[in-house]
Structure 1
């Protein structure tokens, strides 16, 4: 049986971790895999998460199944986190999933049932796993212009022109905030123009919201998806708790659907659950229950928001510090855009050969397209890193 198979290519991002671990140089830097790290390079468990887990340990009496939709309290809390405490949820459906990737695949399979002939349009560039997930669901994909590597900004006008090529009922995948891999984001005014086009041309928005709270703040990072919800008749959102609750390995995410009315979204939700039934049946409960406790308890929620805000501000300071170090080392403003970006990632605009040199000569690990993890930067190594980057230009 297995002799008919050929080996799958290694994951480019995760394979960097193996190379990094095997590198004996004490000055090496890991800027590859997208996890938040503190100033000591550790990815710690957040205080509120640890406290919530202690409460679960003391109060849980069973590990029996809880149903395909997962923790219903978690689902309601996620709807409010994304759309606001006073949002009208009558046209909404949410179900817990195995991480943000599980949410993306569940939505992709659901939309493939609804519109198998649709094309899914993605930003150029986009997260490396978007295309494989969509193709696994059977979709054709196309790209719309998004990032200008010279200026480090969004090509908003070109994006709109590109989206005009989409046909009615095509699906537009949008990064809700903190664009991965570029860190360049639409302004709210530009989002308004995108929404106008989606409504005018009957295009379906599919939002990947993986970094709420990592950009400009919890409320600010939800502004685009809330604008969409106020204007479009239908939408889907894949959201993740991996980053903003730092529960990466526990796999906590959610599918959110908005329909034209309560009945249509109820039907769509039933199909979403039928999809999860054949993917993994029921999502893991532990960390989702912890997230629910945090969002429902005023004390835990306040502590979580405080720690999350400290993480966000640290990344902004690292962006500013790295941009300043690059300005000093290069005697140019070429990299100033880094300070203006938001979220965990930005691109340096290096070639793959230059990225290879950084790894081979300096032990600096980043993805081949020169995407680097801002949270992987060290405050005391910014000039060292900037000097290495400038040396390979």
Structure 2
């Protein structure tokens, strides 16, 4: 008698495209290969270094930390306070706020999604193209996902009219996902007027904004990158913000993040945090402590915080320098790509077909996702011209 496996009824899942890309790049023996796919910051040597401020904080923790006991489902209060002050400022838009620590920004988005999905009538609106994992996170909790076109890849321009028209017709109670800055995958930024218009529509329609805040400080500055988000919070009152420390502290593998709730009444926020903690307990129980302790140790001690601010500025300035070089080199093939210089953060989206992406891999050892998203921080300035010469003929 043949035994039936418990797993026979499962559906075969395709590998994650980005993880598969990393494996292909690692297996490529060519010395001149270039990885433009994986979403991490790299320095001029091609490394993703541990920040000096992080090293100093870890040294402090090694000398002073006395326990590795659990920190509880809501996380480290010192981390949550320090991160909130750094992210939202001292007055945080004149609103009350409460937060819960999470395993990275993805964990923060998933907890926020769990809270939104408690109302089965609710839909969340997402501009496309977007980070590949966004729709999967919200669909996994049963939320209805509505989309609108956010960016024209060929013109390298934000479609603000389509965005505002969609939000204008959203149903009261719906949620809206907004990326605070350094949009993934397009690099496109919103103008102050765009943010004012978004805030007015969200307030008038009774919508709930959920901000994905993953790159603060890598665009134009820590305060500048949060300005649009704070405009909306000040106008609307209630909001949710998922914060990741992966990029701005280079703590990718430590899985450090938080989700914050904004409102005007303590009782409502406490109820929200209680629901988030309940979902956390049933999922991962308690968040990892080490990364949060590092962030708290950096932000609470002036010399370490000053060192971190300086390093973040170095990273931001290097990305901006590469952007200018990329824009000049690629504009020779597509004039619209000059807009890459005015975009922000680590990513831009090229007008290139999946077939041509495959040819670039095979013929030149240049790796990027089929979408054409490139990590501009994956290049050295001196390599930009040669990379553009190889990619340029394949641009659609």
Give the Cα–Cα distance (whole angstroms) in 1 for the partners of residues 77 and 62 of structure 2.
Answer: 19
> 1:162-205 CA distances to partner (integer Å, 9 max, x unpaired)?
22231010110011111111001111111100110001111110
Of 150, 154, 178 in structure 2, the residue corresponding to residue 150 of structure 1 is 154
Match of 1:284 in 2: 288
In 1, the alpha carbon distance for the partners of 2:90 and 2:213 equals 18
Q: Distance in 2 between matches of 1:185 and 1:270?
A: 34
Figure out how many residues of one structure are paired with residues of the other and give that number.
390
Cα-to-partner distance string for 1:1-40 (whole Å, 9 max, x where unaligned): 0122132111011110000000011110001010000001
**Map of 2:33 onto structure 1:** 28
Is it true that 1:124 corresponds to 2:128 in the alignment? yes
Equivalent in 145, 151, 162 of residue 141 of structure 1? 145
- Equivalent residue for 1:104, pick from 109, 133, 149: 109
Task: Choose the corresponding residue for 1:229, options 222, 233, 242.
Answer: 233
Distance apart, 1:88 and its partner CA: 6.4
What CA deviation, in whole Å up to 9, does each residue of 1:345-364 have, x standing for no partner? 00111111111111111100
Matching residue of 1:375: 377
Q: Deviations over 1:230-287 (max 9, x none)?
A: 1112110001000000000000000100123111111111111111111111100011
Supply the distance in 2 between the matched residues of 1:215 and 1:151 (Cα, whole angstroms).
21
In structure 2, the partner of 1:365 is: 367
**Cα 1:203/1:86, change in 2 over 3 Å:** closer
Residue ranges of structure 1 left out of the alignment (5+ in a row): none
Provide the rounded CA distance (Å) in 2 between the counterparts of 1:371 and 1:90. Answer: 36
Contact 1:90 1:262 survives alignment (8 Å): no
The residue number in structure 1 matching 2:324 is: 320
Residue equivalent to 1:258:
262
**Which residues of structure 2 form unaligned runs of 5+?**
1-5
TM-score, normalization by structure 1: 0.97
Question: Given the alignment, which residue of 16, 24, 28 partners 2:21?
Answer: 16
Q: Partners in 1 of 2:233 and 2:278 — Cα distance?
A: 25
The residue that corresponds to 1:348 in the other structure is 350
Tell me how far apart the structure 2 counterparts of residues 218 and 259 of structure 1 sit (CA, whole Å).
23
Q: What SS is found at the alignment partner of 1:277?
A: helix
| Aligned-residue CA RMSD (Å) | 1.2
Which residue number in structure 2 is paired with residue 42 of structure 1?
47
Secondary structure, aligned partner of 2:145:
strand
Structure 1 contact 99–251 (Cα < 8 Å) conserved = yes
Match of 1:63 among 60, 65, 68: 68
Shift of 1:78: 1.4
More deviation in 280-289 or 318-327?
318-327
Contact kept in structure 1, 2:101 and 2:259, CA below 8 Å: yes
